[in-house]
Amino acid sequence: MVKIYLLLVVVVILSSCSKTNDEMSIKNQDDLLKWMSNEESGLVKKKYVNDLEIKVKYLPKSYLINNEISNQNLSDAQKKEIEKDYENSLTFMLSINPDQRFDKKGGDIIYKDISDYKGYKERIYDLNFQIEEFISISADGYLFSPVLSSFENCYGLKEGRDFIFVFVPENEDRKELFTADKLDFVFEDEFFNTGTNHFIFKREDINKVDNISISNNI
């Protein structure tokens, strides 16, 4: 059920690509989606390697909470429980797409450097069940691994793929995930030969968006 919800999150996020001028104009969920896609927000990092665009986006707690409780008949206690769950976690989306700058034509990334059906099946399996092993966040010298991941299987309807990762400290003493000035999202790519990729997020940018109070009317 959780993975189904995470896939719905991907669909909603990708439906909003326009920009807003600044975070002070955020009044509702639509505004927040626009700000999340604005590189000036500090919530989106990307790089181009080996004919691929690799992008990582931080998904704010307020967005995730509102998206989950919207249109549900929940008690105040249930809403508080959902808020508590997200308060102790960080969620990021990794997107891997063909590099389409300069009119490049990349094709479906699943088939990149694949020559037969066996290789295709192995890649699908690895992206579904193994990618967590190659994702981590470094914060003040400590490494955090995702506790949950979701792979978007779009059955060839798009050329890129999206993954959502949820991070939770392994114990209450590990506060660095929420206190470090910088978070280094690391993708050690063993699938597309892009090497080790680092995406640095500033705590101030994360705190800024997480402290925004918005309506849950989408």
Domain contains 109: yes
Inter-residue contact 132 to 165 (CB < 8 Å):
yes
Q: Exposed, middle or buried: residue 137 (CB in 10 Å: 0-12, 13-18, 19+)?
A: buried
Question: Higher model confidence: residue 78 or residue 182?
Answer: 182
How far apart are the C-alpha atoms of 198 and 47, rounded to whole Å?
Answer: 9
Task: Of 149, 142, 206, 141, give the one whose Cα is nearest residue 170.
Answer: 142
pLDDT number for residue 6: 53
Domain contains 76: yes
Place of tokens 């400290």: 169
Domain contains 16: yes
How far apart are the C-alpha atoms of 128 and 109, rounded to whole Å?
Answer: 14
CATH label of the domain that carries residue 62: 2.60.40.10
Q: How would you label 144-156 residue by residue, b for 16+ Cβ within 10 Å and e otherwise?
A: bebeebbbbebee
Q: Which domain holds residue 99?
A: 2-210
| Alpha carbon distances (Å) from 195 to 33, 149, 186 | 30, 21, 10
Domain contains 54: yes
Domain contains 215: no
Domain contains 218: no
Q: How many domains does the chain have?
A: 1
Write the pLDDT tens digit of every residue in 94-153.
999 999 887 777 789 999 999 999 999 999 999 999 999 999 999 999 999 999 999 977
Write the pLDDT tens digit of every residue in 14-61.
444 444 445 556 778 888 888 888 899 999 999 999 999 999 999 999
pLDDT number for residue 198: 98
pLDDT number for residue 19: 41
The amino acid occupying position 144 is: F
DSSP label at residue 170:
S
Domain contains 217: no
How far apart are the C-alpha atoms of 30 and 103, rounded to whole Å?
Answer: 30
**Across 35-39, 68-72, 193-197, least confident range:** 68-72
